[in-house]
Amino acid sequence: MKKETYAAAVKKTLEFFAKANIVLTKEEQNNIEIADFGLNNLDIEGLQIVTYINTDRVCSKEMVLFPNQTCPEHKHPPINNTLGKEETFRCRYGKVYLYVDGEKTENIKGLCPNSFYTVFNEIILNPGEQYTIYPNTLHWFQAGDEGAVVSEFSTSSNDESDIFTNPNIKRIPTIE
């Protein structure tokens, strides 16, 4: 990711947090994670993240999706004799189209960004609504036209071990 892309995305992310009335410390504002998944197409597939806490047992993040932006399909497998990550997404602002493994929903509302998407059981989250994803469950999610702010409550997060359906994805970004 280019430095300018990163800086512009951080600015936009802070605007969404402000819309959702999420207060961040200066340090958090200076450490926004912009994940483009190595695809170089941030506005289509990407995610913006503030990690509040991530210990061996508990993790909590606040995430921004830009309008119609998608967090690509992935799952959290068991690692090091633990069960794998369990996570609850709670929509704070905007609308989230969430897709999980299970019965395919006909005429889904989201727009599949490419062919690396395989699960289509649709859950729609409006502000105040939430959904829990248990370990090893394929899932992806997309914001509606206004973008979205989503809180995540989970067990320990170890992004490096996530398994993405798209083999071209690199979860940990590099800034040029």
Taking the complex as a whole, the smallest distance from the CB of residue 108 to its own copies amounts, in Å, to 23
Q: Hey, is 95 helix, strand or coil?
A: strand
How many other CB atoms sit within 10 Å of the CB of residue 83? 13
SS3 170: coil
Least Å distance, CB 1 to its own copies, is 26
Q: CB 31 → its own copies: shortest distance, Å?
A: 13
Instruction: Tell me the closest approach of the beta carbon of residue 100 to its own copies, in angstroms.
Output: 16
Q: Taking the alpha carbons of 129, 149, 34, 62 in that order, is the dihedral positive or negative?
A: negative
Nearer to its own copies, 43 or 86 (CB): 86
Q: Which is nearer to its own copies, 128 or 167 (CB)?
A: 128
Place of tokens 């998944």: 37
- Residues in contact with its own copies by CB under 8 A are 20-21, 23-25, 28, 52-53, 55, 57-60, 83, 86-88, 90, 92, 127-130, 132, 151, 153-155
For the chain, how far is it from start to end, CA to CA, in angstroms? 6
Beta carbon nearer to its own copies, 72 or 84: 84
Neighbours of 69 (CB within 10 A): 21
Closest distance of CB 24 from its own copies, Å: 5
Q: Which is nearer to its own copies, 66 or 89 (CB)?
A: 89
Q: Provide the β-strand partners of residue 50.
A: 62
Give the separation between CA 168 and CA 170, rounded to whole angstroms.
Answer: 7
Q: What six digits make up the tokens of 160? A: 């490096």
Choice between 83 and 111, CB closer to its own copies: 83
